Structure 1
Amino acid sequence: MSYATAALATYVNMLATLDHIVTKAEAHEKGEALLQARLAEDMFPLATQIRFICNMPGEALARLTGLDFTSSDTDPSTFAEAHERIAGARALVAASDPATWPAAGDPVEFTLPNGMTFAMQAHEYCRDWAMPQFYFHITAAYAILRAEGLPLGKADFVGYMFKYMKQPNPA
């Protein structure tokens, strides 16, 4: 399996996870106030985590495939808007063809807003930057919702695994 195929599958799975936990958050008694919840004062709130998560596949595709993508700089203000952004990110991922991704060893260089520049190979960018950043923010979103009292568990985070579950053997 190519690094591109693996990355796209990860985006598919985890964007579905995000959509699922946002749906659970919608039903919670705290409602859309959850969008402003945060784990610590110096951390971003749930709405910003959602924005970052939804931007990240497009940012990676722009760096790797030349996709014309502009990251959103505003947070979703409602759960409906969060779902729309998730759907948009899922559509970008679904439209990406692994054959259009660069060879694993091709160079990728990028500069962060703080001026730090990184140079690495395409597969390293995916493995060492794009995926860890993506997982960091989706894990933060999950943790915020858990801290706010949502009944979430591992099955909510890796629900896509149930398609692989074998039925127990009859006794």
Structure 2
Amino acid sequence: MTISLYDAIIPTMIQMLGSAQGWIEKAKASDLADGDIAAFRLAEDMLPFDYQVKSMVAHSLGAIEGVRKGTFSPDLEEPDSDLEKMRLNLGAAENSLRALSTGELESFVGQEMHFIFKAKDVDIPFTAENFLLSFSQPNFFFHATTAYAILRHMGVDVGKMDYLGQIRTAPAG
């Protein structure tokens, strides 16, 4: 059985974006202040929660948009520190990914693209599939796991099933 680029990337990103929205709902229901959550980092040399959430969007929908235009650059804008805005950004990314077609993703295979970070004079060439599978997808999971770990560390009532979210099971039959 062959697997498409779409199947290798999009359904799991949709799953995790939905999960993250659930974590944020639980964080909003906690006694913690939005600003305290947004600014929390696991280690001094790591970026805070709000950046982790922003990066989930950047390495899912933003990665697809980067492939479409042939370049992807880091988003250097300040992240939203309001939990509801973070949740809405994740939801918007999820909805946009749901609107993608398998055909569009497959049309990217073999397409040249570049990761460009002008501030550090970096230009890394990729094929679209290698960018998505070896750069954005691992980054997406790193930021998702870090965001989850921050909430867990802060005492938000999230567990493994919250992390996994809505898993895709075989149809009953």
TM-score normalised by the chain length of structure 2? 0.83
Change beyond 3 A, Cα 1:112–1:72: closer
1:46 Cα deviation after fit = 0.7
1:74 Cα deviation after fit = 2.5
Could you say which residue in structure 1 is the equivalent of 2:37?
34
1:82 Cα deviation after fit = 1.1
Contact 2:18 2:91 in 1 (8 A): no
Could you say which residue in structure 2 is the equivalent of 1:140?
146
Change beyond 3 A, Cα 1:10–1:166: closer
User: Partners in 2 of 1:66 and 1:105 — Cα distance?
Assistant: 14
Could you say which residue in structure 2 is the equivalent of 1:23?
25
Could you say which residue in structure 1 is the equivalent of 2:131?
125
1:158 counterpart = 2:171: no
1:49 counterpart = 2:59: no
Show structure 1 runs of 4+ deviating over 4 A: 69-72
SS in 2 for 1:149: coil
TM-score normalised by the chain length of structure 1? 0.84
Matching residue within 58, 62, 66 for 1:59: 62
SS in 2 for 1:77: coil
Change beyond 3 A, Cα 1:72–1:115: closer
Change beyond 3 A, Cα 1:2–1:58: same
1:59 Cα deviation after fit = 2.2
1:34 Cα deviation after fit = 1.2
SS in 1 for 2:126: strand
Change beyond 3 A, Cα 1:97–1:72: farther
1:48 Cα deviation after fit = 1.3
User: Partners in 1 of 2:95 and 2:24 — Cα distance?
Assistant: 18
Higher relative contact order (CA 8 A, sep 6+): 2
Q: Which amino acid aligns with 2:38?
A: L
Moved more, 32-41 or 132-141: 32-41
Kindly report the root-mean-square deviation, in angstroms, between the aligned alpha carbons of the 2 structures: 2.5
Structure 1 unmatched runs, 5+: none
Aligned residues: 165
SS in 1 for 2:59: helix
Identity %: 24
Q: Which amino acid aligns with 1:111?
A: I
Contact 1:57 1:92 in 2 (8 A): no
Q: Which amino acid aligns with 1:122?
A: A
Q: Which amino acid aligns with 2:96?
A: L
Q: Which amino acid aligns with 1:92?
A: S
User: Partners in 1 of 2:88 and 2:41 — Cα distance?
Assistant: 22
